[in-house]
Amino acid sequence: MCSAVKYVFNMFNTFSSFVLRIFVCERVPFQQVNNIMSTFQDRLRIPWRGGAKQISIDSALPLVLLPMLVYVAAQSVWCTLLVLLIMLLSLCYLYSVFMRFLPRTKFFFVWTLTSAVLLLLIFELSVVPFLEIMPQENCVLIALVISAGLCLYKVCKVSVYFI
């Protein structure tokens, strides 16, 4: 039990020094960032029947960030502008981080899929109930989304470079 407590205390110290260096704008050593990324990667799990399933940070981050950012952006025009600016800067930074630590990242693929699903849900739950869209137009949209998904599936199946 004592070794587990020491491990947790050591990880807390490492993470707190990492966050402190970011806030005071000091350079974080590459080894420290690598250790924290690998620890997060190892600990991120979803409870599942038959045992917890491990998921990667780059796959889970868009699923959490995008709905949160859309909710904040929906509050006002200024919040929208602030979120767009923060999102642009964050995506540029995350690109550099992921390309350095995870060169075959799924982050941008999952971001694109999450964006498409979120836009479709907002359309179906907010626009369609106003009855301004004819049912035929809605059916055409759903058919196009399904066909785009099938095309994406075929590209993923055939492509050697796809993640």
* Residue 3 located in a structural domain: yes
Q: What is the pLDDT of residues 98-134, one digit of tens each?
A: 777 767 777 778 888 888 888 888 888 887 777 777 8
pTM score, whole prediction = 0.65
Q: Is the pLDDT confidence value at 18 over 80?
A: no
* Residue 146 located in a structural domain: no
Count Cβ neighbours within 10 Å for each residue of 61-73 and write b for 16 or more, e otherwise: bbeebbeebbeeb
pLDDT of residue 81: 93
* Residue 8 located in a structural domain: yes
- Structural domain boundaries enclosing 25: 1-43
| Number of structural domains in the chain | 1
Q: Which residues contact 122 (CB under 8 A, 6 or more apart)?
A: 70
Q: What is the pLDDT of residues 35-84, one digit of tens each?
A: 777 777 776 777 778 877 777 777 788 888 888 888 898 889 999 999 99
